Structure 1
Amino acid sequence: MVRQAHHERLSRKVYSINNIQSCIGDDVWCPACQSMGQIVPSGPRLSFSLGGAMPALNDDLCLCKCNPPPKLINSQTSFKEIIDDNRLAQYRQAQAQYHQAKLQNNLTSTKTNDELPNFTVHFRRPDDYQGGYGFDWLRDEYLYGTDKSKKIYFGTIENLMEEYRSYQRKELVNLSEIIQYGRPNEYTPAWLNLFSPTNQSDMRLSSVELHLHFEQSDQDTPLTDDETLLLFKCSDGLTVDKPTLAIGDALSNMTKESINLIMEQSAYQQGKTVYTSKDVPTSVTKTIIYYKSNHPIITVTCNSALSQLGTIEVFVKKNGTEKRVGLLCVYPNAKRRKAMIQPIELVAHPFSATNAYPQDYPNAIQSKLFSQVGVIAEVKESIGINLINKQIFHKNKDGKDTITTISSHQLQQQQAIDNFSKKYQHAVNNVKNVNLTPLNGESSREAFNDAINLLKVLVLLNKDRF
């Protein structure tokens, strides 16, 4: 068989010396440079031989005086060779091994590409959160820290996690299917409190924009844009603006960061079966990979009142396979809950009728305090009590501003004001301080009760309501 080749620039043919199958290492004549060359392979290939030599293939090179070397052109695409049975068996065995290896390689590659990534999805509120709805989650700082001085939660971690993993003392359904850090029972969902559409207003929201966070251990394969999808499945009464979200679209809006978390682990948590007085907490460090969205990604809306716990389940899907990776719980909101708020101003300045309240404080009370727990606050007109002049500033039944001065014959009311003023003299005497000095804990509760009792004596509150 004649083996021909051509030069890239001169387009001249190169002829082998023998009219038989050409093999690697054979001599070949190049008419372009008028020299004898040698056939060399153009690249790596599966090794097989004919009579002990490796056949030359199309586009192999002629190593002659030309630069660059010309490529060979095949003159025929088939060949024959007489081989014995032993070599035929070896050839067939090698062929079978080659096909098996190729099949296994393709299968492994396919399985790797089809495998669902390991990560969990968490809902988070924006950093500029100003109230208007309730949102809570298990913060890292509750569980982890760098030293004891920064520790926030001092109770049993398992009990704290159970608070977030259950509703009405029952564990949430399917929660154990969400695998975090390679283990079940580690994932804790976030909790959202929205008003139903019938109860909403500017200060009471039924739709919110939320961030998404992806979380992995440092042992998991990093997330990439590999056609993986996120599916958001909502219970009745809830919707999201993106029921399907490509993970690549989410990652394009995220910042990746690595955080080392330190957790104290008791002997029980370490899985010991024998406990002694020498058992002391040990620090456990683990590295977490976070993908945090730079701005809100998904909008959650309550379309109708929720009579029972609402959920938004998150699944990851790839090539027809799904698994659960996240959950958001939404509190029931069908029951309309109200709170009557009566602001009372205790004034300690002899020439002042009222204190300086923040602008639009009724809406501030609603959005910053009561909306988080789903309660509608009805804020009444403020009542002012001047502890020095013993005057009460309020509105009468007709809504008109009224000043009531406690006279000398109203001894019980005078005595009540004097007792209150004496007990909290440090606030009353400081005329620059228009409000009572803030108190904490039991002192705060005591001051609150004393103020309520004072208002009852002054007949400013219904005695049966408190």
Structure 2
Amino acid sequence: MMSKETYVGGDIIETTGGNNLSYAKDVIENIGLQVIQDGKTNGVFYGINKDAPIISTNINLKKFLVHFRRPKNYDGKYGFDWLREEYIYPMVTVTNDNNGNPINAPTALCKNTTALKQEYLNGVVNNIKPYTINYYPAWLAIFPHTTTSQFPHGSDMHENGVNLDLQIDEIDQIISDGTEILFESQNQYLKISPKKIAISDVISSNRKSRNVNGRNINYYKLERKVNIKCTGGVLNKHEEIKVFAKLDQEKVEVGKLMVYKNNVIPKAEIVVVNVLTGGNKAQLKDDYQYLFKRQSFNQALIRAEVKVDTEFDLNKLNTNPDINNFLISVNGYSAKKKLSEIIRLYELYGKYTVPGGINSNNTHRTYLFFTSLSSGGTRGICSLNQNNVWGNSYLVFNIGLQNPRTIIHECGHSFSLPHTFEQAGNPRHVFYQGYTDAYMDYDWRQGGSPNPYSSKMYSIFKWQWEIMRNDRSLIFNY
């Protein structure tokens, strides 16, 4: 007689229609009921705390995928990036394209989805395709915690590691059958804890569902479940943490986290200049230094530090005809001209001048000018030459002084990053304006609606890390 296997609950699988009643691998103790198979007799044995052997041979590892995700309270304190589903599938209604033309249809938020997918495979040594499904790993960037002798450019920023979420996507329905999720790192400096999670811990959380491109996916989310740190040394190449599902002798790689190499930590030195032009003194956001160091460019493993905080008081120099003419005419200038004139005057009369000019290749510092001047609705502007090459300086106007995104957004331009929606100058990827949580996006959309992430735009994408790390203003020998 053919048997039929049915999931009952707990750790029990009931086989009916055959000669025996079998249990899954994990034993429920103290229930007074065990099944045994002695090679001669199948049946029910009433006993206490007797271990039941594996009876059924058709208990197979259930299929699922494991993804690393950042927790909901993420605020830029480490680099984390992954291929968002809405970037490559038409899941979000886009009202207008980047030229303002109406769309009003579900649209993938990145215009070239094939190229974007490849970004998350660049640097991956061992691509995986579990159950014939293309897998795109998330990327993590953390500073190494080292002594000076181990590595002089280490940091205590991630001394305690970072805590990440796990997202477990079902292919088969997951049951409590004794499966374990294992995490393996081959690099001695890259640590993950715990090293394994029981599947029973997974299904004890709430089962959720999401629709991806017309396909319903059931999944579990374990919040801040794993801790990852780099300690005692550096990662000389991109490293991986492999994720396996294991049941008995069956073991399948079902996930992966890529950890960005951290053996080179460039430094960005920032000169902050308060440009006084009369009226009220400009006041930059109090925690702007914290933003530079711990909520933005640290994601790209760049050590950003304010080295000079100074004033350029044009009022005290108003007897100079050049400066006096600027003070008389400045309110009629465009934002671009305001910046170019302030740079010109600072290079002539400022305290920290640069041979060859601030925006030349001689500059290994980034200049943040800020002012109480207005320029219409413009919050800030970065220098850009006729060849679409970003300069090493930018200006924050009065309405941008207290806006943390403006301070970082314009500095991102100075580190060679275009807008995420930039279409000119052969950008690496183009998204629709106002639909992402990226620093380099806008907090409003074409058509006038606000970006839903406007208060939490902390993301710098993995491919943007690489652009910034190659910027001409960075210092590598220090």
Query: How high is the TM-score relative to the length of structure 2?
Result: 0.54
- Mapping 1:98-137, distance limit 5 Å: 110-113=56-59, 115-137=60-82
**What is the RMSD computed on CA atoms of the aligned residues?**
4.1
Shift of 1:201: 4.6
| Runs (5+) with no aligned partner, structure 2 | 1-16, 20-39, 44-53, 95-105, 147-152, 339-370, 396-471
Equivalent residue letter for 1:342: V
Contact in 1 for aligned 2:143/2:155 (Cα 8 Å)? no
- Aligned residue for 1:289? 218
For the pair 1:174 / 2:126, whether they are aligned, the reply is: yes
- Aligned residue for 1:332? 261
- Aligned residue for 1:299? 227
| Number of equivalent positions | 300
Q: Specify the SS of the correspondent of 1:292.
A: strand
Deviations 1:255-289 (A, max 9, x none): 21122222xxxxxxxxxxxxxxxxxxxxxx21111
Q: Separation in 1 of the partners of 2:391 and 2:326?
A: 10
For the pair 1:211 / 2:162, whether they are aligned, the reply is: no
- Aligned residue for 1:400? none
Query: Compared with structure 1, are the counterparts of its residues 427 and 244 closer, same or farther at alpha carbon in structure 2 (3 Å cutoff)?
Result: same
Q: Separation in 2 of the partners of 1:372 and 1:142?
A: 21
Q: Separation in 1 of the partners of 2:376 and 2:108?
A: 26
Q: Separation in 1 of the partners of 2:58 and 2:81?
A: 37
Contact in 2 for aligned 1:346/1:436 (Cα 8 Å)? no
- Aligned residue for 1:144? 89
- Aligned residue for 1:23? none
Q: Specify the SS of the correspondent of 1:328.
A: strand
Q: Specify the SS of the correspondent of 1:129.
A: coil
Q: Specify the SS of the correspondent of 2:212.
A: strand
- Aligned residue for 2:12? none
Q: Separation in 2 of the partners of 1:374 and 1:238?
A: 16
Shift of 1:213: 0.5
Contact in 2 for aligned 1:347/1:435 (Cα 8 Å)? no
Deviations 1:105-136 (A, max 9, x none): xxx973332x1111110011111012221000
Query: Compared with structure 1, are the counterparts of its residues 45 and 193 closer, same or farther at alpha carbon in structure 2 (3 Å cutoff)?
Result: closer
Deviations 1:315-334 (A, max 9, x none): 11111221100100011101
For the pair 1:361 / 2:296, whether they are aligned, the reply is: no
Shift of 1:341: 1.0
* Structure number having the greater helix percentage: 1
Equivalent residue letter for 1:301: K
For the pair 1:381 / 2:329, whether they are aligned, the reply is: no
Shift of 1:335: 1.0
Picking from 308, 320, 327, the partner of 1:408 is 320
Equivalent residue letter for 1:215: D
- Aligned residue for 1:246? 198
Q: Separation in 2 of the partners of 1:161 and 1:154?
A: 10
Q: Separation in 2 of the partners of 1:465 and 1:419?
A: 32
Q: Separation in 2 of the partners of 1:206 and 1:153?
A: 35
Shift of 1:202: 5.8
Contact in 2 for aligned 1:136/1:192 (Cα 8 Å)? yes
Higher RCO (C-alpha 8 Å, min separation 6):
2
Larger Rg: 1
Query: Compared with structure 1, are the counterparts of its residues 365 and 152 closer, same or farther at alpha carbon in structure 2 (3 Å cutoff)?
Result: farther
Q: Separation in 2 of the partners of 1:195 and 1:437?
A: 40
Shift of 1:347: 4.6
Q: Specify the SS of the correspondent of 2:293.
A: helix
Shift of 1:446: 6.9
Q: Separation in 2 of the partners of 1:335 and 1:325?
A: 31
Q: Specify the SS of the correspondent of 1:357.
A: coil
Contact in 2 for aligned 1:204/1:371 (Cα 8 Å)? no
Contact in 2 for aligned 1:210/1:298 (Cα 8 Å)? yes
Q: Separation in 1 of the partners of 2:308 and 2:18?
A: 90
Q: Separation in 1 of the partners of 2:262 and 2:253?
A: 26
Shift of 1:370: 1.2
| Runs (5+) with no aligned partner, structure 1 | 1-43, 47-98, 103-107, 263-284, 392-403, 455-463
- Aligned residue for 1:164? 120
Contact in 2 for aligned 1:134/1:193 (Cα 8 Å)? yes
Query: How high is the TM-score relative to the length of structure 1?
Result: 0.55
Q: Separation in 2 of the partners of 1:310 and 1:165?
A: 13
- Mapping 1:22-61, distance limit 5 Å: none
